[in-house]
Each structure stands twice: as C-alpha cells, then as structure tokens.
Amino acid sequence: MTMTRLEWRKSTYSDGEGAECVEVAATPQTVHIRDSKRIPGPQLAVPATAWAEFIAYAAGSV
C-alpha cells in the first residue's frame, strides 16, 4: 500500500491570531478534515461526495 502525502489547506477565516478554524486535504475519493490548532490531533475523513453535499448545504445551495 502506498501513502499519498496530503496537501492541507487552511480556511480563509483562519488568521493565525487565535481565530483558527479547520484545514482540509482532498484526494479523489476522500476529504480529510482536522483542527488547525491541533495538527497532530485527530482527523476526520469523509467521502468526497459527502463533503460536496455538506459544502452545498453550508453555502445555502440546497
């Protein structure tokens, strides 16, 4: 099994001065989510389709 290095992206709402949020890293099938204040902490992984549905719902598009 090969491991793919994840490229994490921080929320644009994270300013690095206490208002940090989440980071996400996407692969074709999965989106990984972690707390930007606790990088070595737990991570959540969801199917990319579920993440797309969540984003559409959060944006009010559903």
Q: In the sheet where 9-10 sits, what is the strand order?
A: 9-10, 22-26, 30-35, 43-47
- pLDDT at site 12: 73
Q: Is the pLDDT of residue 33 over 90?
A: yes
Query: What is the pLDDT at residue 14?
Result: 67
Q: Where are the domains of the chain?
A: 9-58
**22 and 36 Cβ atoms separated by less than 8 Å:** yes
Kindly indicate the confidence band of residue 1, based on its pLDDT and cuts at 50, 70 and 90.
very low
Tell me the whole-structure pTM to 2 decimals. Answer: 0.76
Integer Cα distance of 27 and 20 in angstroms: 23
pLDDT at 32: 96
Q: Calculate what percentage of the chain has a pLDDT beyond 70.
A: 79
Q: Is the pLDDT of residue 18 over 90?
A: no
